[in-house]
Amino acid sequence: MLYGAGEEMDIKTAVFPVAGFGTRMLPATKAIPKEMITLINKPLIQYAVEEVIDAGIERIIFITGRTKKALEDHFDINVELNQQLESAGKTDLLYDMKRISEMVDIIYVRQKYMLGLGNAICCVQDIVKNEPFAVILPDDIILSKTPVTKQLIECYNKVERPVVSLMPVAKNETSKYGIVEIKEQVDTRLSRLKDMVEKPASNPPSNMAIIGRYILTSEVLSALSKIDKGAGGELQLTDALKYTAKYYDVYGYEFEGKRFDCGTKQGLLEATINFAYADNLLAETLKDTVASLNL
Ligand code: UTP
């Protein structure tokens, strides 16, 4: 057990590090965070927020940088817009707008310097204290029956240790991800991890990549304060998990779902096509458009 008698262990907090520069999506990300980029008709961040709410999360912490205003405005009440929708009788839209601002409690924390994902996570130490929490990288959008955050929480409830989401990738893609070495397969999807390496230039320990959904514990936070800068000169979350795995069990879970890296043009295009295909109204438009291209 990680906690003392009577201490709350349920995962109720989700941390969204959204302070990165998003250089791969410039110029779209010059004035807004990449999480505000639109997929069909919602910003990426809203898909991720809806995912964690469906997983039972009650409190969200956004770790933001210089472009936090757009995020704040998106989840804030827009009184004038609501009045306009009400007087125009657009009740469905009004309901949607109210739902966004009433979704969940959001705390905003500023990451002073862009020193990497690991450094961003350190910024929540004083808020989460000893509580385990979910971490969501909202540019990883996942189409799944069960929200991936919920899949990970269910694993955490069994093992009460950190759990990272895993996905097999092509061997020539491993240098783009944190890659794990599996110690023991616990069941079809859950494994105990031996080691992990961030963006291996050669000899990846496997083809299982860490994707942007995690359940972390206080051990990982304390590991972040002990490790040095890693790949790209940044404080890497993967390095903190590697450190933690030396002393405690760390688990990986091969999630059910299809993941899209919406922090890249290709990934956003793939996501757009897949989400359109999954939408009754848009599927016809998609089919007609593709047919008209005579590919
Ligand atoms: P990425 O590696 O995707 O970096 O960060 P980035 O800056 O967002 O995008 P590129 O590579 O320049 O295109 C992974 C996650 O960590 C957050 C990002 O916002 C993203 O959700 N992050 C990264 C921070 O919050 N702070 C940092 O210092 C770095």
Question: Among residues 293, 206, 220, 208, which one has the least CA distance to residue 255?
Answer: 208
Q: Is the pLDDT of residue 12 over 50?
A: yes
Task: Report whether residue 231 contacts ligand 1, using a CB cutoff of 6 Å.
Answer: no
For a substitution probing ligand 1, which of 117, 165, 175 has the most ligand atoms within 8 Å of its CB? 117
Residue tagged 């002073």 (tokens): 112
Q: Is the pLDDT of residue 7 over 50?
A: no
What's the CA gap between 161 and 2, in Å, rounded? 8
**Structure confidence at residue 78 as a pLDDT band (50, 70, 90):** confident
Task: Report whether residue 63 contacts ligand 1, using a CB cutoff of 6 Å.
Answer: yes
Q: Give the closest residue (by CA) to ligand 1 atom 14.
A: 117
Q: Which of 19-28, 89-98, 228-237 has the lowest mean pLDDT?
A: 89-98
Q: How far, in Å, from the CA of 120 to the mean position of ligand 1? A: 9
Q: Which atom of ligand 1 is nearest to the CA of 24?
A: 13
Query: Looking only at Cα atoms, what is the longest distance across the chain?
Result: 65
Q: Give the closest residue (by CA) to ligand 1 atom 10.
A: 22
Q: Is the pLDDT of residue 108 over 80?
A: yes
pLDDT tens digit string along 34-73? 999 999 999 999 999 999 999 999 999 999 988 788 888 8
pTM score, whole prediction: 0.92
Q: What per-residue confidence (pLDDT) applies to 137?
A: 97
Phi, psi of 135 (to 5 degrees): -120, 130
Q: Which atom of ligand 1 is nearest to the CA of 116?
A: 28
**Structure confidence at residue 8 as a pLDDT band (50, 70, 90):** very low
pLDDT tens digit string along 252-283? 999 999 999 999 999 999 999 999 999 999 99
Q: How far, in Å, from the CA of 172 to the mean position of ligand 1? A: 22
Q: Is the pLDDT of residue 3 over 70?
A: no
